[in-house]
Amino acid sequence: MQITNSKTLFEKAKNFIPGGVNSPVRAFKAVGGDPIFIKKAEGAHIYDEDGNAYIELINSWGPMILGHNHSMIREAVIKAMENGTSFGAPTAREVEIAELITSMVPSVEKVRMVNSGTEATMSAIRVARGFTGRDKFIKMEGHYHGHGDSFLISAGSGAITMGNPDSPGVTKGTAKDTLLAPYNNLEAIETLIAANKNEIAAIILEPVPGNMGLVTPQKGYLEGLRKICDDEGIVLIFDEVMTGFRLAKGGAQELFGVTPDMSTLGKIIGGGLPVGAYGGKKEIMEFVSPAGPVYQAGTLSGNPIAMAAGHTMLTYLNEHPEVYTQLNQIGGTIANGIKDILVKLGLNYTVNHLGSMYSLFFTDKEIYDFESAKHSDTVLFGKYFQSMLQKGIYLAPSQFESLFLSTALTNDLIDQILDANEASLKEIFQ
């Protein structure tokens, strides 16, 4: 496998882009080697600048549920572009997709479009503060809510991978209002609330974290958070940028039957294009300008190209619930297949799996929070990543990222993925 063109591009990129990449995890620092530069994608495959094809298990970090460059989404984008690419003014499609989202996501009675998941979470916290008149909020250790200052306190994903979870540039004044709790630990939440009585505006979390690897909520945890927030007048925010419309039509909140007060959503509502949204109870969202006093704005919010792609995607998911049956079958086949391979090879490592998301952790410990995830052997993961890459399987270049599957994975491709896993694990442990 030749990657000459990718290497040349990376060397050139480092002259003009910090670290040669526009998002840290792409740099491959956690797995060794240089990043692969992608030229095109189609279905379950991506193709690099050297012409190499890879079966891809990231799907643009989640939104490509139907696979890359789906004809339905592509045609919607082309048709929308015929009328212009940006207006900075209201469009009918914004109303249509807002109505669709409110019909699909249990917590959302009103929704505001933004341009990214980061912008959605930043805005949601601001609105929660404005609604409650309180300043502090609780986030979970290792959960990643974008790169807003308030969230880069024990963040997950790239922050863990780069070994720098508390980013320079985040002021002490900002950090003091961010309270940390371990995921899956209600007692810690109760302790924080008792020590900050009537000061906490919100609790924000990924209901199913994907940014420290995939971790699932323990029985009663989400329900417990819901009760605590009800008792204390705290706004419960689910960050469903990854899980929204992926784990179920209505996201993790539908799957687990726990309805937050607010939700943040990401790229999938743009069919993979740059977009985000936050929404929730009507009385909370009425605090957003111009209806209320909490200011938030954006020229590209509700961009007509992104709205056309997103409306097409969400309409399809809404009308075809069998997609989730298919995704769950694909996820179960791959995750269980890897577990069987581990047993066959006498390897005691942990596979976490839910629906079309999974992670292989190189540790024999149960993974249920940030601290347990950090027991993973990242050196072994790097060897595994590189071996899989050489076999034509493109994984997330970090131990601390969930993988995301698509309906484009056929039985033959699944067999190839499992064969590559077995060969790679044998290679590592020979």
188 Cβ neighbours under 8 A, 6+ residues apart: 181, 182
Tell me, yes or no, whether 342 and 233 share the same domain.
no
- Average pLDDT over the chain reads 94
What's 161's domain CATH number? 3.40.640.10
User: Are residues 59 and 205 both part of a single domain?
Assistant: no
> What burial letters (b/e) apply to 268-296, b meaning 16+ CB within 10 Å?
bbbbbbbbbbbbbbeebbebbeeeeebeb
CA–chain centroid gap for 197, Å, is 31
Which of 266, 294, 319 is the last residue before a domain boundary? 319
Active site residues: 144, 239, 267
Q: How far apart are CA 209 and CA 224, in angstroms?
A: 17
Helix axes 378-390, 411-428, angle to 10 degrees: 130
Instruction: Answer yes or no: do 27 and 154 share one domain.
Output: no
Taking only the tens place, the pLDDT of each residue in 298-314 is 999 999 999 999 999 99
Which residues are CB-contacts of 283 (< 8 A; sequence separation ≥ 6)? Answer: 131
* Shared-domain flag, residues 59 and 147: no
Same domain, 152 and 188: yes
Dihedral sign from CA coordinates of 339, 342, 346, 349: negative
Q: Report d(CA 419, CA 424) in Å as an integer.
A: 9
- Indicate if 96 and 57 belong to the same structural domain: no
Give the pair of three-digit tokens for residue 389. Answer: 């890459």
For 130-165, b where at least 16 C-beta lie within 10 A, e where not — what string? bbbebebbbbbbbbbbbbbebbbbbbbbbbbbbeeb
Q: Check whether residue 62 and residue 120 sit in a common domain.
A: no
357-361 and 350-354 strand pairing = antiparallel
Number of H helices, E strands in the chain: 15, 14
Higher pLDDT, 283 or 169: 283
CA 243 to chain centre: 7
Q: Are residues 297 and 381 in the same domain?
A: no
Residues 55 and 77 in one domain: no
Across 50-59, 113-122, 138-147, 349-358, least confident range = 138-147
For the stretch 2-54, pLDDT in tens is 889 999 999 999 999 999 999 988 999 999 999 999 999 999 999 999 999 99
How confident is the model over 62-71, as a mean pLDDT? Answer: 96
Domain end marker among 319, 349, 380: 319
Q: How high is the pLDDT of residue 60?
A: 95
* Domain termination residue (choose one: 296, 319, 342): 319
Residue 237: closest CA among 249, 225, 248: 225
Look at residue 166 in the predicted model and tell me its pLDDT: 58
Q: What is the CATH number of the domain that holds 372?
A: 3.90.1150.10
Q: How many domains does the chain have?
A: 2
Closest CA to 63 of 222, 274, 223: 274
One domain for residues 228 and 148? yes
pTM of structure = 0.94
| 117 shares its domain with 213 | yes
Domain that holds residue 98: 71-319
Confidence of residue 154 (pLDDT cuts 50, 70, 90): low
What's the pLDDT band for 173 if we cut at 50, 70, 90? confident
Residues 118, 29 share a domain: no
Q: How far apart are alpha carbons 277 and 311 in whole angstroms?
A: 13
Beta bridge partners, 235, equal 202
